[in-house]
Amino acid sequence: MITVEHLTRRYGSYVAVDDVSFEVRPGSVTGFLGPNGAGKSTCMRMICGLTPPSGGVARVLGGSYTDLPNPGRQVGVLLDAAAQHNGRTGREILSLGAILMGLPKSRVDEMLHLVGLNGDESKRRLRDYSLGMRQRLGIAHALLGDPKVLILDEPANGLDPAGIRWMRTLLRGFADEGGTVLLSSHLLHEIEVVADHFIVIGRGKIVANGPKSQLMAAAGTSVRSTDDMRLAGALQGAGFAVDGVGGAIRTDAEPAQVGRIALDQQIALIELKAAGSAGLEEMFLQLTAADAREGVAA
């Protein structure tokens, strides 16, 4: 369990995290979403005790992270895969972690096998690792102590499609066994498949917080018909918002409501479906538009 209450971080007059509150419950993967610079990493660093908050509190497993005895055995953390000693081998990194946590040497081999770093790769210096290999090693270190909670900041960076699928399977299995996962990303599609709850942050503030099913339902309906202009007018006349006439209509009406209106108007439907991930991405972009550096995408 992770509990954040009114967490705030100021740097002079700049407010990086502004009165943020949320919970991450056991048995779930919570996607922490937002554009670059939205405050995700700062928030996660405060949860892990690396950045002192200007206000509010963050609790992990009921208390401050810094008060946990042998925290690596309870909370696995990956905040920056590049923040590792370039002169050490992957095996040495994990072996040192095992010694500090009081773990048997066999745990190192288990983790190397779990993340797919073979014998030769584990003996390479980190200066010769790709970003994807560093991410795998970072995930191995986070899991080394068999923790109950995982806090991962952009763990998919540098992973190829097979690696991203592997990571999703790993994290889903961890949560299904009762673990708690807080997983940050600025790319919605990276964690849409694995996360069952989303927290969206923009300009340091929470702009959306809820189950994925609820947010995807809120994304509305996509519909194509034999007369989109007339259908759009009928939907607007019934009080529903309409967007994207021409190609496909997106509306905040539920599919059943769209179907009934089309039937009343004797308009044949070609396609009718929940907007799904496309609608969720559009909603994400709208919610975080003020914080997007490019103005159109995060």
Q: Which two tokens stand for residue 36?
A: 């670059």
d(CA 65, CA 88): 27
Residues of the chain above pLDDT 90, percent = 58
Which residue type is seen at 206? I
Let me know how many helices (H) and strands (E) the chain has, helices first. Answer: 11, 13
Q: How deeply is 237 buried, as exposed, middle or buried, from its count of CB atoms within 10 A (0-12, 13-18, 19+)?
A: exposed
Asked if the model's pLDDT at residue 294 lies above 60, the reply is: no
Of 9 and 252, the one with more pLDDT: 9
Lowest mean pLDDT among 51-65, 94-108, 158-172: 158-172
What does the chain come to in residues? 298
- The predicted pLDDT at position 297 comes to 36
As a 3-state breakdown, the chain gives helix, strand, coil percent values, each rounded to 5, of 40, 25, 35
Block residue for tokens 């000693």:
85
Mean pLDDT of all residues in 135-163: 91
Q: What is the pLDDT of residues 181-194, one digit of tens each?
A: 999 987 677 777 88
Mean pLDDT of all residues in 176-205: 86
Q: Which two tokens stand for residue 149?
A: 């909670």
- Cα separation of the two ends of the chain: 29
Global pTM value: 0.79
Question: Left, alpha or beta for 250 (phi > 0: left; psi -120 to 50: alpha)?
Answer: beta
CA dihedral over 141, 143, 146, 149, signed as positive or negative: positive
Of 48 and 219, the one with more pLDDT: 48
Q: What are phi and psi of 11, to 5 degrees?
A: -120, 95
Q: Which two tokens stand for residue 136?
A: 């795998």
CA dihedral over 131, 179, 47, 195, signed as positive or negative: positive
Q: Which of 255, 282, 273, 272 is nearest to 189 (CA)?
A: 282
Confidence of residue 292 (pLDDT cuts 50, 70, 90): low
Domains of the chain: 2-211 (3.40.50.300), 220-274 (no CATH)
Helix (H) or strand (E) holding 76: strand 75-78
CB 77 within 8 A of CB 153: no
d(CA 149, CA 238): 47
Cα dihedral 134, 120, 87, 137, rounded to 10, equals 20
| Averaged pLDDT of the chain | 87
Confidence of residue 277 (pLDDT cuts 50, 70, 90): low
Q: What is the pLDDT of residues 230-260, one digit of tens each?
A: 999 999 999 998 877 566 788 888 888 999 9
Helix (H) or strand (E) holding 125: none
- The predicted pLDDT at position 222 comes to 83
